[in-house]
Structure 1
Amino acid sequence: MQGALLELIRFGYGPLGGPIGGPPAPPVAPGGLDPDRLLASLDAPDPVTRPGTAARLALLADQRRARDVAKAGGPKDDSAVKALRQLQREDAAHWVTGAATAASGFRERLVNFWANRLTVAPTRGEGVHFVQPYRDEVVRPHVAGRFATMLAAAAWHPAMLLYLDQARSVGPNSAYGLRRRAGLNENFAREFLELHSMGAGYTQADVTELARLLAGLNYAPEGAVFDAERAEPGPKTVLGAEYGTGPAEIARFIEALALRPETAGSVALALARHFLADDPPADLVARMAQTYLDAGSALPPVYRVLLEHPAAADPVLQKLRSPHEYLVASLRAFGLTGEEGPDQGGPKGGLKTGPALQAMGQPVFRPQGPDGWPDRAGDWITPPFLTARLDWAEKLARLYAERAEPAALARHLLGDAATDTIRAVGQAEQRWEGVAVLLASPAFMRR
């Protein structure tokens, strides 16, 4: 497979097709996989278009005020509730449209990778409103920065504090804890060590001590705060080092945690597994981990080691696209955004990408647990999930096949990896069937 096309598939969401009703897509530029080009794309402007945490906190404050007025016998005002629900619907759609129209597929893939590694989900009260801002404020600004900075931003974001119950954790010897007989919730501390950073090499005592250190880190109506009344007094010993109390000590711990060899190895393995293979080359993971430590957790040098390894240019596609990646790649094949309605050749009610993702096993922003979406093929290859992909392929093919010649589209999307697919496409009796065969082919489902 041509290197530049491989670059779009393995490190992005696949090549763009021509827009519906517009000119055909230009051919993929000649040349090989170019690490410099991919890394330079991380510096391109990446404007955030969705309302952030501050806007949502303001709406939540309006909602509370309206509720208080109604309880006191005043007029009912549900405008803030409606506005928040509308934001939720738009956020869900944006997960698809943002990737389908992304100028840099590599950057967008990294945003989704890191948001998945430092997972939050809308399962705790007001946390439902902060998932999109979390992605835009914690992950997006730091994909080309230091992991330590991203990790600290995650720890202080309302979405994380609510999702992993940190807002319920109280130092048992704090003023609040003694008064209310409240205690620690270790959920956030455990996942911070197990899933977000080290993965191994810590003890239960470290989890408890970290929970004591993090006590006081809380969510309030104005957002993330440090509540000294909930903070556990006295020294805390985590991973062999002693810490005091307060935000500065939490920051000192996170910096030390990010620079541990266990964290470096965990980050390197996760990146290599996501982009290259379910079981990536051990020598690559080791070099990425050492580079991570040498660079003080700066991520671009780690990406460069990944991109320059021979496995990155292997023309054999190793990874199965996740449902989100598969759906986005199929939209890009036709130059679609995912929001097309009848006026753009779509069905009444739109393409309904959300229900399609749910049927494929990846409901929008709702992973099964704090470990995020799986990154191995076996978790996505089940009869119901594959049937849902075939249903989506047929739906898209029936809608848009008349605007694409199947064999030409296969060559554009897969290059010289399309040989077997073109042969299968050529056996279809109708054009839409040929396009469906292409979208449902093993070659198209891989990256």
Structure 2
Amino acid sequence: MFDPVLAEVRFGCGLSPRVAAPDGVAAMLEGLVAPDVMAERFPIEDFETFRERMAEKQRLAKFVKKNRETEEGKATAKQIKLMQRAAREDWLKWMAAHISRRVHTATGFRERVVFFWADHFTATGKNGLIRRATSPYMQSALRPRVAGRFEDLLVEAVTHPVMLQYLDQARSTGPNSPATLARPDKRGMNENLAREVLELHTLGVGGPYTQGDVRQLAELLTGLTFDAENGRKFSKGWAEPGAETVLGKTYGGGKNAHFRDIEAALRDIANHPAVAGHLARKLVVHFVSDEPDEALVASVADVWRESGGDLMAVYGALLEHPAAWAPERRNFKPAFDFMASACRALDMPHEAMVGLSEAEFRARMQGPLSMMGHVWQKPDGPDGLPEEDAAWLTPQGVAARLQWAVTVPQLMLAELPDPRGFVDVALGPDAPEAVRFAASAAESRADGIGLVLASAAFQRV
């Protein structure tokens, strides 16, 4: 059942010429709780540090507003622009760090799981410096919790400042709250976060909830906000008075609204029986097949319910089921998985990416990724990236992969590997003979490497 090549290709970050594949499911699971070597080696700023940037920019902006026409005000305005530029440059460096973690990791399943949950809890800032905070959000809120309990992950992700801004929760006020009654023309409630919690994050589209549940959860969430100085906070004057009933259970209603009421509701929602089926299917579709084996989905869902959302037990159920190791490669790699696994097969040095200018990095990495269909950390909506193969198997996307595979590796590496040997590195010992022949017959090393990376055998997991 267990196949080390399939383990790296389907559940990891791809084959590497230097890093050995795991020797079993136990090793893959252990990698989720082992010391986080990749985070230390290729650091990404934590959100608390990033929030300090936001607070400093806010302080500087207030000074500029009061001193706009003075020399000090003009100098401070330039300082703000430099802060914005630094955040933009770091945003791209963090993309390079994400790729390098995949290139060098011996625990590829961990990197893949982090990205699965980052996509499930899609969030990005809409304006100001927080637009660049998605990687810090992933680093601080998600990465430390992917091997814990789902309810903890849900609470942290849903109440995080990046999520609050992304889904317009940060300024949501109860219809009968003091804030709304004082300024009804400026204040009001937003249901976006409540709807996505039920529809996307937990119960799923068509799940056992009503519009009434959405409305009541939205009222419960009022008051949940953040500021740059303090991060997440709860403003009682913004909260809707009284009790709210969500999925048949009542929360709040005491003298004072409190964040603990929101947390209690989220934990109860996380443990609703319907969550297991929705997320078990999503995990199987993501890692194994767009047309999932129903026995595999049922097995993962059963363990989810029995364990109360213990994610380590859930991953174990996924990896220990025979259907997860079916030899047929049924899923097409999403664009970032393709690019990162290609860099891993090429053993791309981190210095080759971070040594580029911003323009060069955009031209060689971020821009081509967009052409492949993945605009880096600028999602079309809260449902994240598409899972279905058809979304990635577009003429433009496939052409962009081929162009990148032929042109960029030779720009990034001092010397390309021999394509004849690279076939085994990238595809393993069972590489199709047609790919071997194409690699050996290529007119140049760049063409040979490109043909291997663009082959169906490399694209499918």
TM-score normalised according to structure 1 size: 0.91
Change (3 A) 1:263 1:337: farther
Partners of 1:6 and 1:33 within 8 A in 2: no
* Distance apart, 1:339 and its partner CA: 5.0
* Separation of aligned partners in 2, 1:130 and 1:39: 29
Query: Residue 211 of structure 1: which of 218, 223, 233 is its match?
Result: 218
* Distance apart, 1:329 and its partner CA: 0.9
1:147 matches 2:150: yes
Q: Which amino acid aligns with 1:145?
A: G
* Separation of aligned partners in 2, 1:133 and 1:337: 23
* Separation of aligned partners in 1, 2:316 and 2:210: 33
1:233 matches 2:241: yes
Give the alignment of 1:78-97 within 5 angstroms: 78-95=78-95, 96-97=99-100
* Separation of aligned partners in 1, 2:392 and 2:61: 43
Give the alignment of 1:8-407 within 5 angstroms: 8-17=8-17, 25=18, 28=20, 34-46=24-36, 47=39, 49-73=43-67, 74=70, 75=72, 76-77=75-76, 78-95=78-95, 96-181=99-184, 182-199=187-204, 200-221=207-228, 222-244=230-252, 245-337=257-349, 340=352, 349-350=360-361, 352-399=364-411, 400=413, 402-407=415-420
* Separation of aligned partners in 2, 1:45 and 1:278: 32
Q: Which amino acid aligns with 1:439?
A: L
**Structure 1 partner of 2:421:** 408
Change (3 A) 1:104 1:83: farther
* Separation of aligned partners in 1, 2:236 and 2:265: 18
**Structure 2 partner of 1:22:** none
Task: Please give the per-residue CA displacement for 1:189-240, whole angstroms capped at 9, x wherever unaligned.
Answer: 1011101111111111110000001001012232111000001111111111
* Distance apart, 1:429 and its partner CA: 2.8
Residue 224 of structure 1 aligns to a residue whose secondary structure is strand
* Distance apart, 1:338 and its partner CA: 5.8
Identity %: 36
Partners of 1:341 and 1:349 within 8 A in 2: no
Task: Please give the per-residue CA displacement for 1:394-418, whole angstroms capped at 9, x wherever unaligned.
Answer: 1135445953121211112212331
* Separation of aligned partners in 1, 2:227 and 2:244: 25
**Structure 2 partner of 1:430:** 444
Change (3 A) 1:403 1:220: closer
* Separation of aligned partners in 1, 2:350 and 2:87: 17
Task: Using the TM superposition, name which of 378-387 and 397-406 deviates more.
Answer: 397-406
Residue 421 of structure 1 aligns to a residue whose secondary structure is helix
Change (3 A) 1:91 1:230: same
Unpaired segments ≥5 residues, structure 1: 18-24
* Separation of aligned partners in 2, 1:114 and 1:268: 13
Q: Which amino acid aligns with 2:52?
A: A
TM-score normalised according to structure 2 size: 0.89
Change (3 A) 1:57 1:417: same
Residue 316 of structure 1 aligns to a residue whose secondary structure is coil
Task: Please give the per-residue CA displacement for 1:135-172, whole angstroms capped at 9, x wherever unaligned.
Answer: 01111011100010000001221000000000121011
Residue 403 of structure 1 aligns to a residue whose secondary structure is coil
* Distance apart, 1:318 and its partner CA: 1.7
The number of aligned residues is 436
* Separation of aligned partners in 2, 1:187 and 1:308: 37
* Coordinate RMSD, CA, aligned: 2.4
* Distance apart, 1:256 and its partner CA: 0.8
* Separation of aligned partners in 2, 1:186 and 1:214: 9
Partners of 2:173 and 2:223 within 8 A in 1: yes
* Separation of aligned partners in 1, 2:414 and 2:401: 17
* Separation of aligned partners in 2, 1:401 and 1:442: 27
* Distance apart, 1:124 and its partner CA: 4.3
* Separation of aligned partners in 2, 1:251 and 1:343: 44
Q: Which amino acid aligns with 1:431?
A: R
Partners of 1:127 and 1:163 within 8 A in 2: no
Q: Which amino acid aligns with 1:262?
A: A
Q: Which amino acid aligns with 1:413?
A: A
Partners of 2:93 and 2:354 within 8 A in 1: no
Partners of 1:63 and 1:81 within 8 A in 2: no
* Separation of aligned partners in 2, 1:88 and 1:140: 22
Change (3 A) 1:235 1:433: same
Residue 168 of structure 1 aligns to a residue whose secondary structure is coil
* Separation of aligned partners in 1, 2:298 and 2:81: 50
Residue 404 of structure 2 aligns to a residue whose secondary structure is helix
Residue 368 of structure 2 aligns to a residue whose secondary structure is helix
Change (3 A) 1:370 1:287: same
Change (3 A) 1:137 1:236: same
Residue 195 of structure 2 aligns to a residue whose secondary structure is helix
Partners of 1:56 and 1:129 within 8 A in 2: no
* Distance apart, 1:177 and its partner CA: 1.3
* Separation of aligned partners in 2, 1:243 and 1:122: 29
Partners of 2:94 and 2:135 within 8 A in 1: no
Change (3 A) 1:139 1:10: same
* Separation of aligned partners in 2, 1:347 and 1:79: 20
* Separation of aligned partners in 1, 2:416 and 2:270: 50
